[in-house]
């Protein structure tokens, strides 16, 4: 059955006749475009940082940036030095020894119970000289425990990381890990060190997200080669499709470079998405091409096959492009860039399917089923068997599908009194392998010491109103009420 009306089909056939007649010009154009595209693709910056996930125009992000301009703040992390006797002289000696090594790392500054003692008791000597005084200072307030600086079986070290980007952060974290890795064997009072905090979690997420594309691309590439050769049993068809596929993905990557986009924690999977979509279109087109009627000239069939599938492929690609383009309304930066990048890449892949692929198909003399038996006879047999079978069992199939659809809807929105609605997972730690050390340590800290989420309230006053008694009383009342909340530490 024709998928386009006859007038449109005739116009498309004329266009494809001209394109195939000028196939070497098409190849020359791509020979110029692809090296430039490769240059742009390999120059795409990588920005997998979690903190830049929201677009800069968001009001809360803008307010945070204004706050940071006035009160600059570095990334924070935490170390738990586990010890049986936190207030022993040896534990305090080991604590300051570890701090000294950490402070020697460029970009790292530390705070601990010993740091507070030295600042509040100048001239009193080292903390280990009077451990009982340290114990008494801690016993007089819950502040140090609430800040995680001391516990029944640990001493805490708060870390401030002065790093400008994820690369610098990862270098500093590596230096910290090298220091802490030697602590249990060289400090007699410390039995273990737990590394806790957002920097380690973010580093793992960013590293694994970046590596996922590298891991899955070869796997999908093997699948594509196996699929194409298994279906068509032709090296020439395989070459034509693979070159077209590579060009589609490369041009999609170049689009990101031209648009000023970057690899983020989400968009690292865009190349794989473009590869999957282009593969589907190319297989669809080539399957129509190999199905040459016995009484039709090859060149006539070639252009008719392209014209016949033009509307179907175009509708599929452009519908997907519009869907991804709709993501540009999101305030989450990686989601917005994902939409722009994928939509543009899909359109460029569509262009490759109807320009480069027909030219390669002609130049490489890819065979049809008249020239070579192709695989996939089972597909034709399935096409004969499945429709009557599905019609015979239509009611059980429709009822089963409806039950599954309703079950999925209930799983999403919940059922009153029986099943809660599906929650939106916003805890970054939930995406981390629970068996790795940073996940175990962070969960332990979160459950036994204090939570990891921090927020700031920026209170403004009229000019010269910061020291007004009424303001101070109100601020104190606000802090007291916040501290009374069970979830606030």
**Percentage of the chain with pLDDT > 70?**
88
The reported pLDDT for the residue numbered 70 is 67
Whether residues 321 and 360 share a domain: the answer is: yes
Tens digit of each residue's pLDDT (9 = 90 or more) over 210-238: 677 677 778 878 888 888 888 888 899 99
Task: Tell me which residue of 152, 160, 267, 163 sits closest to 209, measured CA to CA.
Answer: 267
What is the span of the domain harbouring residue 296? 6-53+213-375
Beta-strand ranges (E) seen in 162-316 are: 190-196
Whether residues 342 and 223 share a domain: the answer is: yes
Which CATH number is 277's domain given? 1.20.1640.10
Whether residues 227 and 151 share a domain: the answer is: no
Tens digit of each residue's pLDDT (9 = 90 or more) over 181-192: 888 888 889 999
Residue 60 lies in a domain: no
Whether residues 256 and 343 share a domain: the answer is: yes
Angle at 472 between CA 468 and CA 478, to 5 degrees: 145
Whether residues 358 and 279 share a domain: the answer is: yes
Whether residues 217 and 333 share a domain: the answer is: yes
Whether residues 185 and 96 share a domain: the answer is: yes
Residue 290 lies in a domain: yes
Residue 69 lies in a domain: no
Distance CA 322, CA 381 (A): 35
List CB contacts of 129: < 8 A, sequence separation 6 or more: 89
Residue 389 lies in a domain: no
The reported pLDDT for the residue numbered 233 is 84
Tens digit of each residue's pLDDT (9 = 90 or more) over 272-310: 889 999 999 999 999 899 888 888 888 899 999 999 999
In this predicted structure, which of 2-11, 267-276, 353-362, 463-472 has the lowest mean pLDDT? Answer: 2-11
Whether residues 172 and 231 share a domain: the answer is: no
Tens digit of each residue's pLDDT (9 = 90 or more) over 382-402: 878 999 999 999 999 999 999
- The total of structural domains in the chain comes to 3
The reported pLDDT for the residue numbered 200 is 87
Whether residues 225 and 371 share a domain: the answer is: yes
List CB contacts of 291: < 8 A, sequence separation 6 or more: 305, 368, 369
The reported pLDDT for the residue numbered 487 is 64
Task: Tell me which residue of 19, 429, 394 sits closest to 202, measured CA to CA.
Answer: 429
80 burial via Cβ count (<10 Å: 0-12, 13-18, 19+) = buried
Say how many C-beta atoms besides its own lie within 10 A of residue 112's C-beta. Answer: 24
Axis-axis angle for helices 235-259, 270-290 (nearest 10):
140
Q: Please identify, among 356, 375, 394, the residue that sits at the C-terminal boundary of a domain.
A: 375
Which CATH number is 94's domain given? 3.30.70
What's the whole-model pTM score? 0.69
CB distance 253 to 41 below 8 Å = yes
Whether residues 122 and 92 share a domain: the answer is: yes
Q: Mean per-residue pLDDT for 42-64?
A: 65
pLDDT surpassing 80 at residue 456: no
Q: How many CA atoms lie within 13 A of 204 on its CB side?
A: 19
Task: Return the sign of the alpha-carbon dihedral for residues 231, 232, 237, 239.
Answer: positive
Whether residues 254 and 360 share a domain: the answer is: yes
């Amino acid at each position: 059955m024709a998928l386009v009306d006859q007038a449109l089909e005739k116009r498309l056939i004329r266009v494809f006749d001209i394109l195939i007649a000028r196939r070497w010009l098409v190849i020359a154009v791509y020979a110029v475009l692809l090296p430039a595209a490769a240059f742009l693709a390999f120059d795409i910056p990588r920005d997998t940082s979690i903190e830049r996930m929201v677009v800069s125009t968001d009001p809360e992000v803008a307010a945070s940036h204004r706050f940071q301009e006035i009160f600059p703040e570095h990334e924070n992390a935490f170390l738990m030095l586990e010890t049986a006797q936190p207030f022993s002289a040896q534990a305090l000696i080991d604590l300051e020894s570890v701090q000294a090594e950490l402070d020697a790392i460029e970009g790292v500054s530390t705070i601990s119970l010993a740091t507070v003692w030295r600042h509040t008791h100048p001239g009193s000597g080292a903390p280990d000289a009077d451990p009982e005084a340290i114990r008494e200072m801690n016993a007089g307030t819950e502040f140090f425990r609430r800040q995680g600086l001391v516990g029944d079986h640990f001493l805490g070290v708060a870390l401030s990381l002065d790093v400008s980007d994820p690369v610098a952060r990862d270098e500093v974290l590596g230096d910290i890990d090298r220091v802490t890795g030697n602590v249990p064997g060289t400090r007699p009072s410390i039995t273990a060190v737990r590394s806790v905090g957002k920097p380690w979690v973010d580093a793992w997420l960013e590293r694994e997200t970046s590596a996922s594309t590298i891991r899955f691309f070869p796997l999908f590439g093997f699948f594509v080669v196996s699929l194409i050769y298994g279906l068509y049993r032709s090296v020439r068809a395989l070459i034509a499709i693979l070159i077209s596929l590579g060009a589609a993905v490369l041009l999609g990557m170049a689009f990101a470079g031209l648009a000023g986009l970057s690899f983020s924690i989400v968009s690292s999977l865009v190349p794989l998405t473009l590869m999957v979509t282009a593969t589907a279109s190319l297989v669809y087109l080539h399957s129509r091409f190999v199905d040459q009627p016995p009484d039709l000239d090859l060149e006539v069939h070639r252009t008719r096959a392209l014209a016949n599938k033009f509307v179907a492929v175009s509708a599929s690609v452009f519908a997907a492009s519009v869907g991804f383009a709709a993501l540009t309304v999101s305030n989450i930066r990686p989601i917005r860039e994902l939409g722009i990048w994928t939509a543009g890449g899909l359109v460029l892949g569509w262009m490759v399917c109807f320009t480069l692929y027909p030219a390669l198909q002609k130049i490489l003399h890819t065979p049809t089923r008249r020239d070579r038996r192709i695989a996939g006879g089972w597909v034709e047999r399935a096409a004969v068997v499945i429709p009557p079978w599905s019609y015979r069992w239509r009611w059980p199939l429709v009822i089963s599908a409806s039950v599954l659809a309703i079950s999925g809807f209930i799983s999403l929105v919940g059922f009153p009194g029986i099943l809660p609605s599906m929650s939106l997972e916003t805890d970054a730690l939930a995406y981390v392998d629970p068996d790795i050390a940073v996940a175990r340590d962070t969960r332990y800290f979160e459950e036994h010491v204090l939570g990891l989420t921090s927020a700031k309230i920026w209170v403004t006053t009229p000019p010269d109103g910061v020291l007004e008694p009424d303001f101070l009383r109100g601020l104190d009342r606000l802090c007291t009420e916040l501290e009374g909340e069970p979830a606030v530490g």
